[in-house]
Amino acid sequence: MTLVSLLRRGRGRNLFLPAHGRGAALPEALRQLLRSRAGIWDLPELPTVGGPLEPEGAVADSQADAAAAMGVKRCWFGVNGATGLLQAALLAIGRPGEAVLLPRNVHRSLIQACLLGDLTPVLYDIPFHTDRGQPAPMDASWLQRVLRDLDTPVAAAVLVHPTYQGYARDPEPLIRLLQGRGWPVLVDEAHGSHFAAGVDPLLPSSAVTAGADLVVHSLQKSAAGLAQTGVLWLQGGRVDPAALERSLGWLQTSSPSALLLASCETALAEWGTPRGRRRLQDRLNEARGLKEQLCRQGLPLLDTQDPLRLVLHSGSAGISGVEADAWLLPRGLVAELPEPATLTFCLGLARHRGLAAALHSSWRRLIQAHPGRVPQPAFEPPPLPLVASPLLPIGQAWRAASRCVPLAEAEGGIAAELLCPYPPGIPLLIPGERLDRDRIQWLLRQRRLWGEQLPASVRITDNSGSMTQTPSSRG
């Protein structure tokens, strides 16, 4: 089957990203554009069009309008997804040789940015849901422990809000704690751009309204944008806009798609209209009603702070999320994120008529197809200190001469690569980290849970055995 023929198919229930639901929730202005003559929208950076880094043109005007509507100083549209915007933002606030404070559930793109910018990632551990094997959001007391344990000067800090599955806490106390140290704060809010729409008081606060210096939204994950669309917001005086534009120039294409830029514009403008705001509120209300109905019918759905994420705790019935996904997929129920204990469905911004009945029926048949199962035991958190840095600089480890060895035989080695199931894209091991016995045994157990998403071997530096073990942190 060719890609074109595959894209023409629309079978099954789309409970995955992008959030527009295969076009059902695209803004009307973009739908009209796509119904125009094929390719009429495929333009270069003409003077009248401009681009994200051009001072004049339609794109510059749209970015200025979006920033004013959000109440921030500047914004930039991105056509390389949240990935490119996050990387550019981190490179703008950290100079080569400096350290940056990152949570352990950071997306792999920011670890890669550390490599590109010769930055040292100082990684801090976060709370962990042992019943489902997922990171949990931290509160201010947890972050205070991290800051007390920190013994490395850092230049900037990063937060993730919300998580992929929709877990969140009020980010403002965390942002204030970090800014109180004089650090600019970058928030990866890729999955929470709808928090900033301000339509529903029950949603968590956005990091934009909480005062973060830089916030990245993925407009395809939590707004009605096409894939690869995103926006970077800047406020306050801690970050130089010129530094941001230099970084964006390094990591964004010099020929941005006018169609994707138009998608950024329309996705953001949608929530400034009564119709768009009403539609978002309707989807949130429908999602809450759907979850209540399914819970009454016995589906083990976990509580999260984002109604647009349904997290099925399949592990409570002894079925991994990976197994559940493999069984449901050929039956037309396509989820977003399979994990060892859960399966996350992204409801997005489209309506899902008849979904309650379909999910209830599928869950019953899934249970019947996997008889005799017992609930999964509790998951163990990773055996990591509260705060740690790689033993070897990340760029040096990545570029070093290396060899591939079975994971079980890698004790004492220094990782030369990421180990990272995707999705969710959260590294379990980063280049430069020492593989001690506890870490290896934990990774081997993770491999049994994740299956082929984690390889049976790992690449380690050739000089791993000759390096002495030195502590990289306190904790």
Q: State the span(s) of the chain assigned CATH 3.90.100.10.
A: 390-464
The predicted pLDDT at position 472 comes to 39
Query: Which residues of the chain does CATH 3.90.1150.150 include?
Result: 284-369
Rounded to whole angstroms, the Cα distance separating 336 from 50 reads: 35
Inter-residue contact 168 to 134 (CB < 8 Å): no
Residue 468, pLDDT > 90, answer no
Q: In one letter, which amino acid is 325?
A: D
CB proximity list for 365: less than 8 A, separation 6 or greater: none
Given 3-state DSSP classes, what are the helix, strand and coil percentages for the chain, each rounded to the nearest 5? 35, 15, 50
Strands 230-234 and 120-124: unpaired
Distance of alpha carbon 63 from its chain centroid, rounded?
Answer: 23
Judge if the upstream peptide bond of residue 340 is cis by omega within 30 degrees of 0: no
3-state class (DSSP) for residue 249:
helix
Task: Determine the Cα angle at 466 with ends 461 and 469, to 5°.
Answer: 95
pTM of the model: 0.96
pLDDT > 60? residue 50: yes
Confidence band of 9 (pLDDT split at 50, 70, 90): confident
The 343-346 sheet, strands edge to edge: 309-312, 343-346, 337-338
pLDDT reading at 359 higher than 90 = yes
Q: Which pLDDT tens digit goes with each residue over 177-217?
A: 999 999 999 999 999 999 999 999 999 999 999 999 999 99
Number of residues assigned to the chain? 475
What is the CATH architecture of 284-369?
A: Alpha-Beta Complex (3.90)
Asked if 418 and 108 count as a contact pair (C-beta separation under 8 A), the reply is yes
* CB-CB contact of 218 with 83 (8 Å): no
Give residue-wise pLDDT tens across range 237-275: 999 999 999 999 999 999 999 999 999 999 999 999 999
Tens of pLDDT, residues 158-176: 999 999 999 999 999 999 9
Q: Which CATH class is domain 28-270?
A: alpha beta
Q: What is the pLDDT of residue 465?
A: 57
- Count of other CB atoms within 10 angstroms of residue 412: 15
Query: Under CATH, what is the fold of the domain 390-464?
Result: Ornithine Decarboxylase; Chain A, domain 4 (3.90.100)
